Structure 1
Amino acid sequence: MSRRDIYYWKCDRPAAFHGTQIRGAADAEIEQQLGEALQRHFVTQVVELSTGIGQGNHLTWDARVAGQAMFLRVENGPEKDGQLAVESALLARVREAGVMTPRVYACDASRSRVPFAWQAMERIFDPDLNHWFKQGRIDVPRIAFGIGEAVAKWQTIKLPGFGILDESMCGYHATYADYFHLRLDQHLTFLVTRGFLTQSQSDEIRGEIENHQSLLQLDTGCFVHKDLALWNILGSESEISAFIDFDDAISGDPMDDLSLLACFHDDAFLRRAFEGYQSIRAFPPDYLRRFWLHLLRNMIVKSVIRVGAGYFDRDDGFFLISSGTSGQSLREFTHSRLGLALQGLRNSSSIDILRP
């Protein structure tokens, strides 16, 4: 299938929220088929698989293939698209831009021999940075600066078109505004229908986006990770080992990825990320309003996912929920951050309003 009509895969895919629910043991049949596929591809009988700890919308395994440590991801959704192959190519492009990513050893999104897409990549043994963040052990100034540097580096990658990328690395949309508005009405209607927003709040958000249409007039798009968060970065308390999970990447706006950090973090974190970015490249014109506009759009999407996938019913064992808090705390934070994004856009506020 084509992702032309998708703004963000987790909530817009035909099998909405597939893979976002809590799963039990990995499917034994898939594991057997995956092992056989690895044996065929690497021409070896020595394949050991154990269930991985990935927290995204893929099934994951740790593996040793002929003695080589690997990390395996499987996409088994009913849409049967080839995005894992696109992401594999993007990982190499980002690494060429000077940002650390895992190497992909093999990928098969054809579904010609098994009924799912799979990807075998370098296994990096460091945990994701959210592991350290939830323990209060992360070196925020150092890590946030490094993230900002990485965003600036991968923005050297220019991509034709806008939005989600097809298999030729071209965005599906002719204008950035077309992509930005994709499914916006459906997302807001969903949040109203599910009682997360009132109709007046939804109308206010629509109106403020309409007031800032000029910010969406981009001549060219740059590479945007589109799921930038600590659980998609591996490393120690103070060092980044690799950025992962690029399968939601788009051709878009330079402030989009930085705004994604603001979906989770405060002004101190953002200030250091901004400094890291500016150590490599200058901010674009109107960067502050563009930052708030994209934070607003991203918080709408995250609200849809969190409501639709039942994240507000989880406890602090869930990766998105801070230690010692609850799903209700996540709900309150999501509401608050959506409101701050709207306020920031309307007033061109400084990032100080993100202060706890």
Structure 2
Amino acid sequence: MSHLYYRLTKTEDPEERLEDAVLYKAMHDTFGKGLTMVDMDEPAPMDGLFLGRGKNRELWQKNILGQPGMKYWEDPAFQNAITRSFVVTDLSGAEEEIKRLHAEGKDAFLKSTKQKHFVGRVDQGETIHEALDGMVYSFMDIENCLMVQEAVEMSYERRFLVMNGKVVTQSPVAWHLTPMSRSWIQEETGFSVEDVHFKTPQSRQPMISPDGTARMTAFAQEIADASDNPHLCIDIAIIGDDPSKDPMELIEFNPMQPGAVGLYGCDPKRVAEAVWDAMEPELRAAVAARRKGIDLETPERKLSGAEMVNNLPGLAKAIFVNNPEGLRDLAEDFDRLHGNDEDAPSEEDIAFEDFEFEDAPEKDDATPTGPEF
């Protein structure tokens, strides 16, 4: 029977560690005994639904919500929402695109299509080789390895978590924020995190703009409606200084994998509630039963000594053809070691197969195998 799993992550980053713990707490509050904890050092299970951050060898895990290896730049929802110049190409194509942007008086923003590999600007007067430096060799002879974008000054970035096709929670992108910030922001400003904006990730000076939140949320939902992916992390920013009226720009998508995506001030309870709707009906029923304390696990039936003996290959049984009591002793030893109480097989219960054996050649007739002297 499948399980809903969560595994906490080993990390030294204080914000990530806190976010992970708070989300696990929300999951436990929501699912109780229906949530199965996986030890930090244990591999991710392959059944059910796994929540948490994947390790390197688990990047292609299938039983997760976040789409592994997401190529968001190929999603029509992304392509139709952006307004800036955006090209995915190889190293030589990237060099040509950067030259084109520079000729138009624009700087370029360069990013690897491989996650957390390379990101940087290529300002006018700078070449792609200067920007990449020694990393240039990691992009040689590889198709569609670089994203070249028009560098656009963006501010008031927000993160929207989409699950089951709907925006379930959101937060300003500010590095000092965690889900626990929700309470003190409400106390200090009189507004919820949803209506607070920060101009840059480093900023600690809040701007209150419910209208800006409303229009950015509507834009995020519009993008989610256009995407075939039901679970997305959408980052949107403002080109200007006023979230309530200045142009909005989609930055990127990230896989929406609970426990692996940065929450900032998002509401972990909303994420946990959305996980319930994301589960397959069979898993949902199993989690609901476990949450009520119903034990769904069927103990694995122990193999008896008699069954073990009867399942032995014919050649193994043939060893005991003249000593059936040896097989009985073997069965009894097996039951004793495994705590079984079944009777060992009698000689009549043991099926032997007839095997024809050729006698080994006499020594004088044997074929010589050593060196000749």
TM-score (norm 2): 0.25
Which protein shows a greater Rg? 2
